[in-house]
Structure 1
Amino acid sequence: MCDYDDELYHERLPNVCGAINAKAKNCCSTDSIKRKLPICTWLPKYKAKYLIDDIVAGLTVGLTAVAQGIAYGAVAGLPNVYGLYSSFMGSFTYIFFGTCKDITVGPTAIISMMVNPHIDGNPDLAVLLCFLSGCLILLLGLLNLGVLMRFISIPVTTGFTLAAALTVGSGQINNLFGIQSNSNEFLKSWINFFGHITETRRNDALLGCCTMIVLLFMRKLKDVKWGFHQLNRYLSLCRNVLAVIVGILLCYLLSRGDNEMPFRISGEIQAGLPPVRVPPFETQDADGEPMNFSEMVSKLGGSIASIALLSILESVAIAKSFSKGKIVDASQEMVALGCCNVFSSFFSSMPITGSFARSAVNNASGVQTTLGGAITGILILMTLAFLTPTFAYIPKATLAAIIIAAMLFMVEYDKIAEIWRAKKRDMLPFLATALSCLFWSLEYGMLVGIVVNALFILKKSMTPQFQLETQKHNGIELCLAELKGSVDYTAAEYLKITIVTHVTERHMGNGNVSLVIIKGAEINSIDATVAATIVSLQEDLKLLQCDLICWNWNLAAAGVVCRLHKKSRNMFKFTKNFSELLETIPPAHGGNDSHIACDLNQ
Structure 2
Amino acid sequence: MDWSNIQESRRQTLGICSRCCSYETLKKKLPVLGWLPRYTLQWLQVDVIAGLSVGLTVVPQALAYADVAGLPVQYGLYSSFVGCFVYCVLGTSKDVTLGPTAIISLLVSLYTYEDVSLAILLSFLSGCIQLAMGLLNFGFLLDFISYPVIKAFTSAAAVTIAFSQVKNLLGLKDIPREFVLQVYETFRKLPSTRLGDALLGLSCIVILVLLKWMKDTSPRMHRNIPRFYRLCNLIVWFITTARNAVIVIAAGLVAYSFQVLGSQPFILTGKTAEGLPHFQLPPFSETTANETRTFNEMVQKIGPGLFVVPLMGLLESVAIARAFASQNNYRVNTNQELLAIGLTNFLGSFLSSYPITGSFGRTALNSQTGVCTPAGGLITGLVVLLSLGYLTPLFFYIPKAALAAVIICAVAPMFDLRICKTLWNVKRLDLVPFLLTFLVSFWEIQYGILAGILVSIVILCYPVARPQIKVLESESLVLQPTSGLYFPAMEFVRDTVHEKALAVSPQRSVTLDLSQVTMVDYTIVVGLRDLLHEFKSQGLCLTIRGLQVRNNILLGRFIDGESMKMCECCMFNPTYCQFSDIYKCRICI
Shared fold (TM-score, shorter chain, > 0.5):
yes
Deviation at 1:549, TM superposition (A): 1.0
Residue number in structure 2 paired with 1:315:
317
Q: In the TM superposition, what is the alpha-carbon distance from 1:233 to its structure 2 partner? A: 3.4
Aligned partner (choices 261, 271, 276) of residue 273 of structure 1: 276
Give the corresponding residue for 2:226.
none
Provide, for residues 399-450 of structure 1, a one-character-per-residue CA deviation record: whole Å limited to 9, x for no partner.
Answer: 111111111101344544322221010111112222222212x233212211
2:523 matched to 1:529? yes
Match of 1:453 in 2: 456
Q: Which moved more, 1:497-506 or 1:65-74?
A: 497-506
Tell me the equivalent position of 1:291.
293
How far residue 298 of structure 1 moved from its aligned partner, in angstroms, is 2.1
Q: Please name the residue that 1:499 is paired with.
A: 497
Deviations 1:269-328 (A, max 9, x none): 22211112121222124x431122222222222312221111111111111111123222
Contact 1:171 1:183 in 2 (8 A): no
Q: 1:429 aligns with which of 433, 436, 458?
A: 433
Alpha-carbon distance in 2 for matches of 1:148, 1:364: 30
- Give the corresponding residue for 1:155: 148
Determine helix, strand or coil for the equivalent of 1:128: helix
Q: Give the letter for the 1:276 counterpart.
A: F
Aligned partners of 2:559 and 2:452: how far apart in 1? 42
| Structure 1 residue 548, shift from structure 2 partner | 0.9
Q: 1:216: how far off? A: 1.7
1:143 paired residue among 103, 111, 136: 136
2:8 and 2:542 map into 1 onto residues whose CA distance is: 48
Contact 1:550/1:571 (8 A) holds in 2: no
Pairing 1:126–2:124 present: no
Structure 2's unaligned 5+ residue stretches are 220-228
Segment of structure 1 superposing worse, 368-377 or 221-230: 221-230
Counterparts of 1:75-154 in structure 2, within 5 Å, are 75-154=68-147
Rounded to whole Å, the distance in 1 between the matches of 2:378 and 2:513 is: 64
1:446-484 superposed Cα distances (whole Å, 9 cap, x missing partner): 122111111122322111221135x364xxxx3221121
Q: CA deviation at 1:372?
A: 1.3
RMSD over aligned Cα atoms: 2.8
Displacement of 1:156 in angstroms is 1.4
| CA distance in structure 1 between the aligned counterparts of 2:314 and 2:448, rounded to whole angstroms | 16
Residue 302, structure 1, aligned to residue 296, structure 2: no
Distance 1:425 1:348, change over 3 A: same
Equivalent positions of 1:502-521 (< 5 A) are 502-507=500-505, 512-521=506-515
Residue matched to 2:38: 45
Q: Give, in whole Å, the separation in 1 of the partners of 2:6 and 2:148.
A: 51
3-state SS of paired residue (1:550) = strand
Change (3 A) 1:16 1:447: farther
* 1:408 maps onto 2:412 in alignment: yes
Percent same amino acid among aligned pairs? 35
Amino acid aligned to 1:523: V
Does the C-alpha gap of structure 1 residues 102 and 545 become closer, same or farther in structure 2, counting only changes over 3 Å?
Answer: same
Give the 3 Å change call, closer, same or farther, for CA 431–274 of structure 1 in structure 2: same
Closer/same/farther in 2, CA of residues 18 and 497 from structure 1, 3 Å limit: farther
Tell me if structure 1 keeps the 8 A contact 2:484–2:517.
yes
Of 528, 532, 542, 1:538 maps to 532
Q: Give the conservation status (yes or no) of the 8 Å contact 2:465–2:489.
A: yes
Aligned mate of 2:333, from 329, 332, 356: 329
**CA deviation digits over 1:160-209, x for unaligned, max 9?**
11111111111112212221144444323211211211111122112212
Return closer, same or farther for 1:538/1:160 CA change in 2, 3 Å cut-off: same
User: Which residue is equivalent to 1:462?
Assistant: 465
1:368-407 aligned at under 5 Å gives the runs 368-407=372-411
From 189, 205, 218, the counterpart of 1:196: 189
1:506-536 C-alpha deviation (Å, 9 max, x unpaired)? 22xxxx2421111222222211221221121
Q: 1:594 to 1:29 in 2, by over 3 A?
A: farther
The DSSP-based 3-state class of the residue aligned with 2:512 is: strand
Tell me, yes or no, if structure 1 residue 549 matches structure 2 residue 543.
Answer: yes
8 Å CA contact 1:166, 1:186 repeated in 2: no
Q: How has the CA–CA distance of structure 1 residues 180 and 65 changed in structure 2, closer, same or farther, with 3 Å as cutoff? A: same
Aligned length: 570
Contact 1:479 1:517 in 2 (8 A): yes
Alignment of 1:113-262 (within 5 A): 113-225=106-218, 229-255=233-259, 260-262=263-265
Instruction: Give the corresponding residue for 1:600.
Output: none
Distance 2:111 2:510 in 1: 61
Residue 31 of structure 2 contacts residue 92 of structure 2 at CA under 8 Å; is this kept in 1? yes
Determine the C-alpha separation between the residues in 2 that align with 1:549 and 1:488: 19
Contact 2:502–2:508 under 8 Å retained in 1: no
- Runs of 5+ unmatched residues, structure 1: 1-5, 598-602
Look up the match of 1:489: 487
CA distance in structure 2 between the partners assigned to 1:15 and 1:417 by the alignment: 64
1:351 corresponds to: 355
User: Offset of 1:67 from its aligned partner?
Assistant: 0.3
Indicate the larger mover: 409-418 or 310-319.
Answer: 409-418
Change (3 A) 1:153 1:596: farther
Measured after TM superposition, the shift of residue 143 of structure 1 is 1.4
The 8 Å contact of residues 106 and 353 in structure 1, kept in 2 or not, is answered as: yes
> What SS does structure 2 have at the residue aligned with 1:485?
coil
Relative distance call for 1:186 and 1:249 in structure 2 (3 A) is: same
**2:406 and 2:588 mapped to 1: Cα distance?**
73
**For the structure 1 residues 494 and 329, does the alpha-carbon distance in structure 2 shift closer, same or farther, using more than 3 Å as the test?**
same
Provide, for residues 206-241 of structure 1, a one-character-per-residue CA deviation record: whole Å limited to 9, x for no partner: 221221122122212123245755444333211111
Alpha carbons of structure 1 residues 199 and 424: separation in structure 2 relative to 1, 3 Å: same
| Alpha-carbon distance in 2 for matches of 1:18, 1:546 | 62
Could you tell me how far apart the structure 2 residues matched to 1:13 and 1:141 are?
35
Query: Per the alignment, do residues 11 and 434 of structure 1 end up closer, same or farther by CA in structure 2, a change over 3 Å counting?
Result: farther
1:3 paired residue number = none
Kindly indicate whether the alpha-carbon contact (under 8 Å) linking 1:207 and 1:398 is maintained by their aligned counterparts in 2: yes
How far does residue 110 in structure 1 lie from its aligned partner after superposition? 0.8
Whole-angstrom CA distance in 2 between matches of 1:572 and 1:398: 82
> With structure 2 as the length reference, what TM-score do the two structures score?
0.90
**8 A contact 1:549–1:571 mirrored in 2:** no
- TM, length-normalised to structure 1: 0.88
Deviations 1:46-72 (A, max 9, x none): 101112211111111111111011111
Contact 1:73 1:112 in 2 (8 A): yes
**Greater Cα offset, 218-227 or 208-217:** 218-227
Distance 1:339 1:462, change over 3 A: same
Query: Contact 1:54–1:367 (CA<8 Å) still a contact in 2?
Result: yes
Query: 1:495, 1:21 → 2: CA distance?
Result: 53
Q: 2 CA distance for matches of 1:420 and 1:291?
A: 50
Q: What's the CA shift for 1:109?
A: 0.9
